[in-house]
Copies of this chain bind each other. A is one copy, B any other.
């Protein structure tokens, strides 16, 4: 039986606030280049006050993946917490307008926190440094998980970033149980090396018990297995997970599983803003996987979707991904 959703993503529901900066700004304001740092509301206000003019685009790692999948025509849904405020309305609109189901109840206007946002500072070299005020996205809890939605998912896609907080870990457990009980599969993205540092034990436990697909970049995978050697990390992943997709930046991506390894080269583009590269790789790869394509084709789809998103500012696709895929002979 065809399930209602090919992929249901769960993660931090955020609006990106994107601005271009010189690297000196990062140094002067204590922003560490190239990584995601969690900040509180006060720091968010302070940093925003110092930033230049910005544009606002819906973001959130797993939400970007779901938006990419929806743009590709996949049947998708998303779970993540916004507030009933203007930024929350923008986030919800952008996902639904892309064709994804999004039914997580928003936090009420009386909630102390606001819809979360991620200040994305893009350097001249295209690298992005993210300062995230999680806002109400941090309050994702088991009651936000609709068991029927999970049961209707071929895959659920869990965002590592949302492992900050016991309520959300419990929400993930609820989601995993409901999905698996109905014969669905579980994918997880490790999000970033520091996220892996914070949650290594939880990730390893999840991976051993429930994960069918692990999506990570090389730094995250090496951090997970506490090694500086990518081959060692990939061998560990192969032993523990049915399928692993490991991106290696400008070198593309490896897919490993069941004694087979394939490699897809990165799509050559002029890099404007790397935000969303991993998220859109996951979108393309999951699209290939859930539409019955072979692993190499799925990996090529991932690389092509990632190439599109890094060629412009913002972490959601702007070009018509289906046209791009068709032109590359991937449809």
Contact = CB atoms under 8 A, between A and B. Distances in A.
A318 B52 CA distance: 11
Contacts of A87: 86
Contact of A94 (B54, B67, B86, B98): B54
B316 A97 contact: no
Interface stretch (A27-35, A55-63, A162-170, A183-191): A55-63
Contacts of A49: 93
Interface residues of A, number: 26
A225 interface: no
A85 interface: yes
Contacts of A206: none
Contacts of A316: 53
Interface string A86-112: 110010011101100000000000000
A81 to B, nearest CB: 16
Contact of A86 (B51, B67, B85, B95): B85
A94 B314 contact: no
Contacts of A94: 53-54
B85 A67 contact: no
B57 A56 contact: yes
A130 to B, nearest CB: 17
Nearest to A45: B89
29 contacts: A48-B93, A49-B93, A51-B93, A51-B97, A52-B97, A52-B98, A53-B58, A53-B67, A53-B94, A53-B95, A53-B97, A53-B98, A53-B316, A54-B90, A54-B93, A54-B94, A54-B97, A55-B55, A55-B56, A55-B57, A55-B314, A56-B56, A56-B57, A56-B90, A85-B85, A85-B86, A86-B86, A86-B87, A86-B115
Given A53-B58, A53-B316, A86-B86, 16 more contacts: A20-B318, A49-B93, A51-B93, A53-B67, A53-B93, A53-B94, A53-B97, A53-B98, A54-B90, A54-B93, A54-B94, A54-B97, A55-B55, A55-B56, A55-B57, A56-B56
The 3 A-B residue pairs whose C-beta atoms are closest, nearest first, are: A56-B56, A53-B94, A86-B86
Interface of A: 20, 48-49, 51-58, 67, 85-87, 90, 93-95, 97-98, 114-115, 314, 316, 318
